[in-house]
Structure 1
Amino acid sequence: MPTPQRFPLFSLKAVQALLASLCLASSAWAQLKVEGTRLIYLGQDREASINVVNRSGEETVMQSWVSDPQGGDDIPFAIVQPLTLLPPQGHQMLRVLYAGQGLPTDRESMFWLNILEIPRKSEHADSMQFAIRQRLKLFYRPTELQGSTSDAVRNLQWHRHSQRIEISNRSAFHLSLVDLALEGPGLHQPLTDYVLLQPGASITLDARSPVPDGSRVAFTEIADSGLLQNHSAPLP
C-alpha cells in the first residue's frame, strides 16, 4: 500500500496574496504596452483607436477582441486586424468599428477591450511561457448625450443614513471613482478603493460608525483621458 502523502494547507489570504502577486508579475512581464487606460467611442466618429507598442526586441503576436461584461454574445463591434504580428519595437493602431445599431442612444454602454499577447514558441523545451491578456474599458457614448463625465461627477447626489452613505448617479455616463474616504474634524476613514457608477444607478457604502454632522466624502475621479481629478462632496 502506498504511503499517504501530506500536502501543506494554505490560508485563503495566502492564496489571494499569491494570485495578486501573479497579476502584478503578468503586468511586469507584458511586452505589449497599451497607450491608454480606457477607450471612449464617440457616436459621431466612424471608429475609435488606441496605440499598442511592442517593447520587446522580438516579433510579438497580438490578438484583440471586444467582450460584454455581462457575458452576452451580441457584440456590435469589430476589430480591424484582430490578429496581427508586431515587429520588434514596432506599434499598431488598434481600430474598433461600431456596427451602427444595437446600443441605447440615451446612455453610455460599456464593454471590455481585450488585448492578448501570444508568446512565440520557445527554443528551450523546459521553458515556461505565458499568454498575457490586458483588458481595458470601452465606453460607447451616443451622439445624443449632452454634458460630460466631469459635469456628472459634480452633480452626483450624496446622502448619509446612520452608518451608510448612498451615492446616486442621475446622469447617462459611467463614472469611475477611486480612493473614497470619509472626512471631517479629526476624521479620516477609508470607504472603498474603487466604485464604477453605471448610468442612473445608486450604490451604498458602509462606514465603521455613524456618520457625524459636517462630514464630507473625498474621492478621485478618473477622467476620460485617464487623468485623476480630486473632489470633495458634503454629506447632507
Structure 2
Amino acid sequence: FYLNVLDIPPRPEFGGKKADVGNVNYLQLAVRSRIKLFFRPATLNQSVADAARQVTWSRVNRGNQTFLRADNQTPYFVTYKKIALKSDRDIQSLTQPGMVSPYSVKEFTLPGKNLYGASVIWTVINDYGGYEEGKSSIK
C-alpha cells in the first residue's frame, strides 16, 4: 500500500487578517510525501534480517554478462540498501540494490566476473527503517 499525503498550508495571517497577496511577500511550500506501507499478518513473526539470511545467492552467466541471483523463498519482502561481493582481494558493490519480493527471484548485474570464493555482504532495511547487516555465501 502507498500512503500519499499532501500538505498545503493556508495563507499566513498578519494582524488577525489573511495576507493580501498584492501587499505582502511570503513563501508558501506544499509538501507531498509518499510512504510505502507493508501489512504483515500476525502469523509472520520472523524478522526481516532472518528472512534475508534465508535468501540464497547464486551466479548466473548469460552470454558475456554475469548476474548475481537472489532467490527469496520466504513470505517477506526483503529490501536491500547495499549488496557487495567480498573476495580475498577485493570488494565490489552493486550499483542498484533493491527489493526482492516473496517467493521470487531477482537478478543483479555484476560489475565484474570473478566471483569464485566471494561472499555476499548485504545490508537490509528492517521494519523500523534501520539497517541490519549480514553475510551469505554464493552457491
**Pick aligned residue for 2:127 from 217, 224, 227:** 224
Q: Distance in 1 between matches of 2:128 and 2:95?
A: 23
Q: Do the aligned residues in 2 keep the contact of 1:181 with 1:192 (CA within 8 Å)?
A: no
Q: Distance in 2 between matches of 1:211 and 1:155?
A: 24
Q: Distance in 2 between matches of 1:177 and 1:198?
A: 11
Task: Show structure 2 runs of 5+ residues with no match.
Answer: 13-18
Q: Look up the SS of the partner of 1:211 in the other structure.
A: coil
Matched AA of 2:39: Y
Q: Do the aligned residues in 1 keep the contact of 2:82 with 2:124 (CA within 8 Å)?
A: no
Higher RCO (CA 8 Å, separation ≥ 6 residues): 2
User: In the alignment, what sits opposite 1:148?
Assistant: 47
Matched, 1:200 2:99: no
Matched AA of 1:113: L
Q: CA RMSD in A?
A: 2.0
User: In the alignment, what sits opposite 2:15?
Assistant: none
Task: Show structure 1 runs of 5+ residues with no match.
Answer: 1-110
Q: Distance in 1 between matches of 2:55 and 2:81?
A: 15
Q: Do the aligned residues in 1 keep the contact of 2:83 with 2:93 (CA within 8 Å)?
A: yes
Structure 1 residue 143: deviation in Å? Answer: 2.8
Label 1:208 to 1:194 Cα distance change in 2 as closer, same or farther (>3 A).
closer
Instruction: String of CA shifts for 1:78-137, please: whole Å, max 9, x gaps.
Output: xxxxxxxxxxxxxxxxxxxxxxxxxxxxxxxxx112222212225345655332112222
Bigger share in helix = 1
Structure 1 residue 184: deviation in Å? Answer: 0.9
Matched AA of 2:37: L
Q: Distance in 2 between matches of 1:114 and 1:198?
A: 22
Q: TM-score when scaled to structure 2?
A: 0.78
Matched, 1:113 2:3: yes
Q: TM-score when scaled to structure 1?
A: 0.49
User: In the alignment, what sits opposite 1:172?
Assistant: 75
Q: Do the aligned residues in 1 keep the contact of 2:56 with 2:70 (CA within 8 Å)?
A: yes
Q: Distance in 1 between matches of 2:86 and 2:2?
A: 34
Q: Distance in 2 between matches of 1:134 and 1:223?
A: 20
**Pick aligned residue for 1:138 from 37, 46, 53:** 37
